[in-house]
Amino acid sequence: MKVFKFGGASVNSADAVRNMAQIVQSHLESEPLVVVVSAMGKITNLLEQLVPGCSEFEFSSLELRKQLEDYHRGIASSLMPDNMEVQHRIDAWLASLDALCATLPADAGHYNYNYDQVVSHGELLSTSIISEYLNHLGINTLWVDARQLIKTDNHYREGRIDWQATQEIVRRSEFVDRSSVRVILTQGFIGGTNGGTTTLGREGSDYSAAILAYCLNAESVTIWKDVPGFLNADPKYFGDTIKISQIPYNEAIELAYYGASVIHPKTVKPIQNKGIPLFIRSFIMPEAEGSSIGDYRVLVPETPLYIFKNNQILLSILPRDYSFIAEDNLQVIFGILSKIGIRVNLMQNSALSFSICIDNNPQLVERLIEELRGMFRVRYNDGLQLITIRYYTQEVIDSIVDRRPILLEQRSRTTEQLIVPQKK
């Protein structure tokens, strides 16, 4: 079996869905194609904004709730003007959202739980519309509720997969012995636990595709994106990008870890364990070859790779009592970081200070500084950019730094990391 994943940008309008359906149609085989889809366009962001207002008395009259409805109805009626069935399915999800909002606990302690119950409706809506549309085109499509398939613990907003349960369910499910079904369509990003719906973390649909591929021993996974493949840098920050045709699994994991946004960081490991290749292809140019991540020894072509992280803050943490930075101090610092949920992008220590580079999320940073202040003095620099270059040369570094002062630098045999002021 093959698994395809389509993200929000590939289904953000009626025309986009038509294009997506054409791609699906041209890849049908004797075995059903497993298709994982995200919420349409930017709907996850819209639903996120709805979460705090959700337990409001007049939820169903909120402007955002109306935008959500109009957007999905508009796409559905453009695709299938006289189809009442699709409108009924939209009605049902909107009714489920309204009912939820009437009953969800309003206190802040339930935020993550409420988030998952509400935000998951983006994927439920998108896949319901797309499933109706594929059937309307004569492609026999089975809609499957991912909450019944992908089982997680109750860590809301970052559900951790129960691999054993998921694997058993997937293997027993409709996925097997369905000779008349051409497409099995399900939601990315969402899963289920005993207490309700969970989500797997933002941009988690890639991960969903990898989980299903793992459980099904799939032949391959293809992620359809708005870029021609895996590029050596994000075109937002870099003019002359080069497409990488072949990427070793471990290289892809390293890149995702350093912040390359092309695939979700958790995606590669499960499929690497099974030796399943991962293709990245363009839904804008579906004939083009794209990139493949697999059991390769080297990058093809061998070229420097760049990852830029903007809006970074560099904190220097100094013990107040002039003790050295050693295991006991580090233990305290990491305890605080982990309690607040801050990920360190780069760190370095000297005898008297410990420096960390983190995303500048003002609320979290404020809490961090507050907690550290008891034992440490804290200094910081903000407005910074963290640049990671794999397979660097000095020439490449000089041209990227472009005479900016370097606040911190770390170099290994393969990887150079630098912190510099972000360009305006």
By CB under 5 A, name the binding residues for Mg ion.
Answer: 7-8, 38
Residues between 97 and 126 with contacts to ligand ASP, criterion CB under 6 A = 122
Q: How far, in Å, CA of 48 to CA of 52, rounded?
A: 8
Q: Which stretch binds ligand ASP (CB under 6 A): 92-100, 129-137, 202-210, 220-228?
A: 202-210
Q: How many CA atoms lie within 13 A of 374 on its CB side?
A: 7
What does the chain come to in residues? 424
Cβ at position 252, least distance to ligand ASP in Å: 17
Write down the least CB distance from residue 206 to Mg ion, Å: 8
Which of 110, 202, 269, 404 binds ligand ASP (CB under 6 A)? It is 202
Q: Is 304 in the site for ligand ASP (CB under 6 A)?
A: no
Which does residue 39 bind out of ligand ASP, Mg ion, none, counting CB within 5 to 8 angstroms by kind? Answer: ligand ASP
Binding partner selected for residue 202 from Mg ion, ligand ASP, none, CB under the kind-specific 5 to 8 Å limit: ligand ASP
Interface with ligand ASP (CB under 6 A), residue total 12
Q: Is 265 in the site for ligand ASP (CB under 6 A)?
A: no
Alpha-carbon span 8 to 16, nearest angstrom = 10
Contact code string over 38-57 relative to ligand ASP, x by CB under 6 A:
xx----x-------------
Residue 267 found at the interface with ligand ASP (CB under 6 A): no
Site string for ligand ASP, 306-345 (x = CB under 6 A): ----------------------------------------
Q: Which is nearer to Mg ion, 12 or 292 (CB)?
A: 12
Task: Report the residue number whose CB is nearest to Mg ion.
Answer: 7
Q: How far is the CB of 189 from Mg ion (least distance, A)?
A: 8
Does position 191 interact with ligand ASP (CB under 6 A)? The reply is no
- Residues at the contact surface with ligand ASP, assessed by CB under 6 A: 7-8, 38-39, 44, 122, 188-189, 202-205
